[in-house]
């Protein structure tokens, strides 16, 4: 099973350019999340979506936007990238059980120069 | 809002030695608790989870964790570490936020485990 697919795996981007990180899941999970991982800071929540058509802000939302047009896709957009957005980005979804665990993609490494 | 503290940034143990990784959380009620492991360049893999019932939970790869409500802790243990256990370990707490509908998973900053042969 594919689970969560993220693309691209890695990207180098010039500052000021826009970029969309793609995330697709095939598990029909309602809730989805975007985290960024930085050395020494762990994973921090950027945006989330409880269900298709709704989104919410996490801990570090500035400079990022998301949309949730359908259950499967949850893209993350950087409208005008800055070097501080250099990070590894993880998409995740929450399972149907009541145990609260998240399932993660393999990550997208973004470097902004 | 919930928070997680992993006091140890980096731990080094010898292969075959026992291991305990510490995790303390802050939340007003009993949260969902998790340990994830991340190998270099990889995504996060769930080791184990606690949400109710027996406070000692068993996970994959021989790991276990014990929920202690009085200490707000959820420490991860393994009796005999293998070289392949070298990775970064993240403790996480899951809880519903304001309004009762926004479930979020909050992570600690991680503990890097090095295993010496």
Smallest CA–CA distance, residue B103 to chain A, in Å, is 8
Cβ pair A102, A94 in contact under 8 A: yes
A83 contact B CB<8A: no
Contact B51 A56 (CB under 8 A): no
On chain A, the residues whose CB falls within 8 A of the CB of B43 are: 90, 104-107
Per-residue pLDDT of chain A (113 residues; tens, 9 = 90+): 569 999 999 999 999 999 999 999 999 999 999 999 998 899 999 999 999 999 999 999 999 999 999 999 999 999 999 999 999 999 999 977 667 889 999 999 999 99
Smallest CA–CA distance, residue B97 to chain A, in Å, is 11
Total Cβ atoms within 10 A of residue A88 = 18
CA atoms of B89 and A64, how far apart (whole Å): 27
Q: Pick from B74, B72, B57: which is nearest to B20 by CA?
A: B74
E strands, A14-78, are: 19-25, 32-38, 42-49, 56-57, 64-66, 76-78
A56 contact B CB<8A: yes
pLDDT in tens, B4-16: 999 999 999 999 9
Supply the pLDDT for residue A82. Answer: 97
Supply the pLDDT for residue B98. Answer: 54
Supply the pLDDT for residue A76. Answer: 98
pLDDT in tens, B51-97: 888 899 999 999 999 999 999 999 999 999 999 999 999 999 988 76
Contact B108 A42 (CB under 8 A): yes
Contact A100 B105 (CB under 8 A): yes
């Amino acid at each position: 099973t594919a689970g969560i697919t993220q693309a691209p795996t890695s990207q180098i981007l010039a500052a000021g350019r826009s970029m969309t990180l793609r995330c697709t899941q095939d598990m029909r999970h309602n809730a989805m999340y975007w985290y960024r991982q930085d050395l020494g800071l762990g994973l921090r929540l950027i945006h989330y979506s409880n269900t298709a058509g709704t989104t919410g802000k996490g801990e570090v939302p500035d400079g990022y936007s998301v949309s949730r047009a359908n259950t499967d896709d949850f893209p993350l957009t950087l409208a005008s990238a800055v070097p501080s957005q250099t990070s590894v980005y993880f998409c995740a979804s929450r399972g149907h059980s009541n145990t609260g665990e998240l399932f993660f993609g393999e990550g997208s490494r973004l470097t902004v120069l | 809002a919930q928070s997680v503290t992993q006091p140890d940034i980096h731990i080094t143990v010898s292969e075959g030695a026992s291991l305990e990784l510490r995790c303390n959380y802050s939340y007003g009620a009993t949260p969902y608790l998790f340990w994830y492991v991340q190998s270099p360049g990889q995504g996060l893999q769930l080791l184990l989870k606690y949400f109710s019932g027996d406070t000692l939970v068993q996970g994959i790869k021989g790991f276990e964790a014990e929920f202690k409500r009085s200490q707000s802790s959820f420490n991860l243990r393994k009796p005999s570490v293998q070289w392949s256990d070298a990775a970064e370990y993240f403790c996480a707490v899951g809880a519903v936020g304001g309004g009762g509908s926004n479930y979020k998973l909050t992570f600690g900053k991680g503990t890097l485990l090095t295993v010496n042969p």
